[in-house]
Structure 1
Amino acid sequence: MKTTLISLLCLLFSLNIFGQVKKTKYDSTILGETRQFQFYIPEDYDPEKKYPLFIVLDGDYLFDLVVASVKFNSYNDLMPKSIVVGINQGYNNLRFSDCDFSDEDGLPKEKGKLFFDFIEREVVPLIQQNYNLAEFKAVAGHGITANFINYYLFKDNPLFDAYISLSPTFAPQMTERIADRLSQFEDRKFYYLANSERNLDKEDKERISALNGMLKTIDNPKFYYFYDNFENATPFTAASYGIPKAIDLMFDLYEPISKEEYDKNVITHEAPVINYLIKKQETIKELFGFEKPIPLNDIMAIYSVIKTKKYDDLESLERLSDISKKEFPDTMLGFFFLAEYYEQMGEPKKALKTYENAFTMSEIDFLTKDLMLDRITSIKEDFGY
């Protein structure tokens, strides 16, 4: 046990350096057996930052799909960089013994109980000891493992915040239990459910559809529910369709402000519009457990609204200046917004000095030294400075 644990810790350290996907083995005290894992740690892992965690059951074939989606979305700033752990179950009939449940009440029994504890008391703590994890944790499963992940919902303080359930094969009484539990949470929970039209098991297909009927009626502002019924998919291809879709939907709020979001929510927001951006950032922190750097795209979206409304919202312009100085401290951005604020407030001397300060900073986006000179010259000519 000690030798294997040391080997695993060495592997985790090597992943920190090289950002590789690696396979390893671990001697589980709870299960009394050796288990196979796969790990993905972001290439530029920074111990000062926090990372969401994805636990992937059926890691033999789901792990690569999750890693690919996580890498693609995080590369494009559509989600935070994350750590992914796959638990392999495709040998020695493990996925069925791991997920064993009682035919009477549908709850885990024997090996199923141990596997539940194994994830909660060995797998996740091991990652927490070696990496800086955000509060946000997700779990994914397919078929019988998609049924198993729901057992974590029934804890008083569930281990996971997000559940990706791909073509689940439900145990008895599970659909009613899941719907009842998800209606009760006072903290945020994400739940993605995938079905497939070409599912030859009629009972599975109907029970997934029935669960969807129950979940979509839940009136709970803390519950985020997503459902797909893939018309041309089998239960297996539904996994390849569902994983990128689930991850995209799960992190929708994290994405930079889109044109659709701008038209629907931002430009229609009552003044001060800066509150929209602040609320968005607060919600991201609440959901994922860390502060996201505010992208230039979002700052410019707020500035666009201020300009469109002819600078009626000067409070937002001043506060946008403060945010910009924090997020882009070496650039003109914060000083430029502050200079415009002074201009609109009828304080040309302060505006002139602030534009001069901006001139000494680095250019960014449409802000150039030529533009600063134009603003400086214009004020001097208008007021005879």
Structure 2
Amino acid sequence: MNTAINEIKNDYLSSNFSDFTGASHYLLPAIAIPQAFENIFNAFRPISVKEYKEKIIPLESSSVDYLVEKYQRIKNLYNIDKPVLINDFKAVAAAIEKKQQYEDFEPLAKLATKEYPDTLLGNYYLGRFYEETGDPKKAMKIYQSAYILKEAAGITKNHVLELSDKIKADFGY
């Protein structure tokens, strides 16, 4: 039966087979039901270290596209408009840094501004975009404009001001 189910090609069908050897028929529900719930809500979880290493880092396409698709999948599967978690923004930003795909900071900034408009998250990522793509003056101004917004994701007002001051000192603006 498991083989027949695995042969079905459908984006909305996910199956998992576990062979509970050694478990009595009394113990099987206590093992199988929690495991089934974990599998059902697997897509709903934040990006894990495993997902980061196995799915996001090897991607040839944009890490931001992966993030958008992940939350679209949640919307399609569970009919819930779940806001993008701060942890997931941080994971995608780390992937952008690691893969040196700095142009991806711009769409990440737009998404962060849409999801968390009152925080400095969007401005920080947009500043990173301009800083890494050769427009430090614009990055400095964006970092400075982030000062009035709320802190988020461990990015503080002092940090963005330090980045702004560093650019000012390096380029003499």
- Relative to the length of structure 1, the TM-score reads 0.42
Structure showing the higher helix proportion among its residues: 2
Tell me whether 1:319 sits opposite 2:107 in the alignment.
Answer: yes
For 1:51-200, list aligned pairs within 5 A: none
| Separation (CA, whole Å) in 1 of partners of 2:2 and 2:58 | 33
Show the counterpart of 2:8: 219
Tell me whether 1:342 sits opposite 2:130 in the alignment.
Answer: yes
| Separation (CA, whole Å) in 1 of partners of 2:69 and 2:4 | 30
CA apart distance, 1:365: 2.7
1:269 to 59, 75, 90: 59
- For each residue in 1:215-234, what CA deviation from the matched residue of structure 2 results, as whole angstroms up to 9, or x when unmatched? 34x23233311223322333
Show the counterpart of 2:68: 278
Q: Secondary structure at the match of 1:264?
A: helix
**Which amino acid in the other structure matches residue 264 of structure 1?**
E
Q: How many residues align?
A: 172
| Separation (CA, whole Å) in 1 of partners of 2:149 and 2:40 | 38
**Which amino acid in the other structure matches residue 56 of structure 2?**
V
**Gapped regions of structure 2 (runs ≥ 5):** none
**Gapped regions of structure 1 (runs ≥ 5):** 1-210
Q: Secondary structure at the match of 2:18?
A: strand
- For each residue in 1:151-200, what CA deviation from the matched residue of structure 2 results, as whole angstroms up to 9, or x when unmatched? xxxxxxxxxxxxxxxxxxxxxxxxxxxxxxxxxxxxxxxxxxxxxxxxxx
Show the counterpart of 1:243: 33
| Runs of 4+ in structure 1 over 3 Å off | 211-216
Show the counterpart of 2:91: 301
| Separation (CA, whole Å) in 1 of partners of 2:70 and 2:3 | 30
CA RMSD of aligned residues (A): 1.8
For 1:19-58, list aligned pairs within 5 A: none
More relative contact order in 1 or in 2 (CA 8 Å, sep 6+)?
2
| Separation (CA, whole Å) in 2 of partners of 1:247 and 1:330 | 35
Q: Secondary structure at the match of 2:51?
A: helix
Q: Look at both structures and tell me which one has the larger radius of gyration over its CA atoms.
A: 1
- For each residue in 1:197-250, what CA deviation from the matched residue of structure 2 results, as whole angstroms up to 9, or x when unmatched? xxxxxxxxxxxxxx345434x232333112233223332321121111001011
Tell me whether 1:352 sits opposite 2:140 in the alignment.
Answer: yes
Identity over the aligned pairs, expressed in percent? 33
Show the counterpart of 2:119: 331
Contact kept? 1:348, 1:379, Cα under 8 Å? yes
Q: Secondary structure at the match of 2:16?
A: strand
Q: Secondary structure at the match of 1:227?
A: coil
| Separation (CA, whole Å) in 2 of partners of 1:303 and 1:365 | 11
| Separation (CA, whole Å) in 1 of partners of 2:152 and 2:158 | 12
| Separation (CA, whole Å) in 1 of partners of 2:110 and 2:167 | 23
Structure showing the higher strand proportion among its residues: 1
| Separation (CA, whole Å) in 2 of partners of 1:275 and 1:306 | 12
2:153 to 359, 365, 379: 365
CA apart distance, 1:344: 2.1
| Separation (CA, whole Å) in 2 of partners of 1:357 and 1:213 | 57
- For each residue in 1:90-111, what CA deviation from the matched residue of structure 2 results, as whole angstroms up to 9, or x when unmatched? xxxxxxxxxxxxxxxxxxxxxx
- Cα distance change of structure 1 residues 232 and 342 upon mapping to structure 2, 3 Å threshold: same
Q: Secondary structure at the match of 2:19?
A: strand
Contact kept? 1:271, 1:313, Cα under 8 Å? no
| Separation (CA, whole Å) in 2 of partners of 1:238 and 1:304 | 40
Q: Secondary structure at the match of 2:17?
A: strand
CA apart distance, 1:349: 2.6
